[in-house]
């Protein structure tokens, strides 16, 4: 789904980091920062009317308002300038150009769609404007930076790469499905999109490693409206689980999975399922669906997670999607980086962001170095971002993995056939 402190000062515990980071950003007394009083402008280019993307501008505005209420950055207020890209790469490019050349933003938070971010990436270098994505996943985004660092260093990957997502899904499946339910076979079912190419490649590698033989690999067009033939084919292969990679088409396959009463559980990445509206969007068909996430309601990943969820729900009446958490965090650590850089200069901002060590709502945010295969990708696992596996149960999103952060146990609807748990 990215947060930092000042370089070299990371404390060993998340609680201590969160406290010090909050003070660092919200007091913001660095004398080096220009006291011009001009606002710090952050452009937000997002799919504002989509299920997952709607949380992006909302969460960004919430973060800005919180920072401004504490005095801003050395007295400078954060100003969010939002652009609805209508899920269009072309509209996103036009919005980015406007943000940089007309609205003179200091940074941009852009999109949960990989194709959009890939279209914007060259423009970050042309216009020397920092961009952080709150939700796109394609590994190609950061691989491009490795190939042309000097021009593309302005792009930061504020969410997990597809490969990291797949690895977290496999880790969860090993514990929940192989160890506890003795599952042995899987079908990979993903939409045909830029972000699922590396996702599926890693699925095909890591699922057999944890003991799940992949008996079929299905990639379907995002324009698919009838999933009946796909589910019929899968049922005929009798796998123990369907491992998913779906983002733009989550509602339709979920509804038809329930209508057809496919007796095979679905686990994996389902971006729309992260949004609290997904239960109503599917009329409850999502009951039992398991999905990877970086945060979730009722899960205290860090001391900042639950306060953010409560504030978001109070203001907007619903819970944030996965990219709401990341967008919220990104406003904070962009503000912190500007404070640490002591300047609005984009190259100095890049250098400051690279040193980010910030505890946000999804974990401890640090970026991989420029000499790695994926520069500016988030570090994952260990003391950084743990990742979760949530399940829809009775209208609620319940975290079932990892055990130390779980607030419930696996529970499937009656039509799902699984082995007895130990």
Q: What are the tens digits of pLDDT across the range 130-150?
A: 999 999 999 999 999 999 999
Q: Is the pLDDT of residue 23 over 60?
A: no
- The candidate with the shortest Cα–Cα distance to 127, out of 89, 100, 107, 149, is 100
Question: What was the pLDDT predicted at 81?
Answer: 98
Q: What is the mean pLDDT of the chain?
A: 90
Rg (CA), the chain: 21
Cα–Cα distance, 108 to 353 (Å, whole number)? 13
pTM, two decimals, is: 0.84
Neighbours of 254 (CB within 10 A): 25
CA 202/CA 417 separation, integer angstroms: 27
Of 148, 94, 151, which is closest to residue 128 (Cα–Cα)? 151
CA quadruple 264, 267, 270, 276: dihedral sign:
positive
Mean pLDDT of 335-350: 95
Strand pairing category for 241-246 and 388-393: unpaired
pLDDT > 70 fraction of the chain, expressed in percent and rounded: 91
Q: How far is CA 351 from the centre of its chain?
A: 23
Work out the average pLDDT over 278-298. Answer: 92
First to last CA, the chain: 32
pLDDT confidence of 401, banded at 50, 70, 90? very high
Q: Cα dist. 305→126, 202, 387 in Å?
A: 36, 29, 13
Cα separation, 408 vs 390, in Å, equals 9
Domains 14-160+300-365 and 163-293+387-405 belong to one CATH topology = yes
Angle subtended at Cα 20 by Cα 405 and Cα 18, rounded to the nearest 5 degrees: 15
**Protein fold of 14-160+300-365:** Rossmann fold (3.40.50)
Distance CA 26, CA 210 (A): 44
- What percent of the chain clears pLDDT 90, i.e. is strictly above it? 80
pLDDT for 344 equals: 87
Identify the helix (H) or strand (E) that includes residue 143. Answer: helix 140-147
pLDDT digits (tens, 9 = 90+) for 181-223: 999 999 999 999 989 999 999 999 999 999 999 999 999 999 9
Give 36's pLDDT tier (boundaries 50, 70, 90): low
DSSP letters for 360-383: -SSSEE-B--TTSSSTTPBP-STT
Q: How many whole angstroms separate alpha carbon 79 and alpha carbon 235?
A: 52
Q: What residues are paired with 41 via a beta bridge?
A: 79
Q: What per-residue confidence (pLDDT) applies to 422? A: 36
Whole-Å CA distances, 51 to 256, 274, 308, 330, 332: 18, 9, 19, 20, 24
Fold of 163-293+387-405: Rossmann fold (3.40.50)
Q: Where are the domains of the chain?
A: 14-160+300-365, 163-293+387-405
416 has pLDDT over 60: yes
Omega before 402 cis (within 30°)?
yes
DSSP state of 193: S
């Amino acid at each position: 789904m990215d947060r930092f402190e000042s370089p070299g000062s990371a404390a060993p515990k998340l609680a201590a980091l969160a406290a010090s980071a909050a003070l660092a950003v919200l007091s913001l007394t660095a004398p080096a920062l220009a006291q011009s009083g001009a606002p710090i402008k952050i452009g937000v280019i997002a799919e504002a009317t989509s299920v997952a993307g709607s949380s992006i501008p909302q969460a960004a505005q919430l973060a800005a308002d919180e920072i401004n209420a504490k005095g801003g950055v050395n007295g400078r207020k954060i100003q969010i300038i939002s652009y609805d890209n209508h899920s269009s790469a072309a509209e996103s490019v036009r919005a980015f150009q406007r943000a940089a050349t007309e609205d003179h933003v200091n940074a941009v938070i852009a999109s949960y769609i990989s194709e959009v971010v890939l279209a914007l990436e060259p423009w970050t270098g042309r216009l020397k404007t920092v961009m952080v994505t709150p939700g796109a996943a394609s590994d190609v985004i950061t691989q491009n930076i490795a190939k042309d660092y000097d021009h593309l260093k302005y792009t930061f990957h504020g969410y997990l790469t597809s490969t990291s997502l797949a690895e977290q899904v496999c880790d969860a499946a090993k514990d929940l499905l192989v160890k506890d339910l003795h599952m042995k076979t899987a079908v990979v079912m993903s939409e045909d999109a830029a972000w699922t190419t590396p996702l599926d490649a890693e699925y095909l590698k890591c699922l057999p490693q944890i003991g799940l033989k992949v008996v079929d690999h299905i990639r379907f067009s995002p324009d698919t409206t009838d999933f009946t033939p796909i589910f019929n084919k899968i049922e005929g292969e009798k796998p123990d689980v369907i491992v998913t990679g779906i983002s733009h088409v989550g509602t339709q396959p979920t509804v038809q999975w329930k209508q057809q009463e496919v007796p095979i559980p679905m686990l994996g990445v389902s971006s729309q399922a992260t949004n609290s509206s997904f239960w109503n969007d599917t009329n409850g068909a999502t009951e039992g669906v398991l999905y990877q996430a970086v945060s979730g309601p009722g899960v205290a990943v860090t001391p900042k997670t639950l306060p953010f969820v409560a504030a978001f729900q109070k203001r907007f009446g619903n819970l944030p999607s996965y990219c709401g958490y990341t967008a919220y965090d990104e406003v904070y650590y962009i503000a912190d980086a500007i404070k640490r850089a002591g300047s609005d200069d984009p190259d100095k901002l890049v250098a400051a962001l690279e040193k980010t060590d910030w505890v946000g709502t999804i974990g401890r945010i640090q970026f991989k170095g420029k000499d790695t295969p994926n520069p500016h990708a988030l570090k994952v696992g260990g003391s950084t971002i743990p990742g979760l596996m949530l399940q829809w149960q009775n209208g609620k999103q319940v975290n079932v993995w990892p055990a130390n952060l779980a607030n419930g146990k696996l529970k499937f609807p009656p039509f799902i056939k699984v082995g007895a748990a130990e």
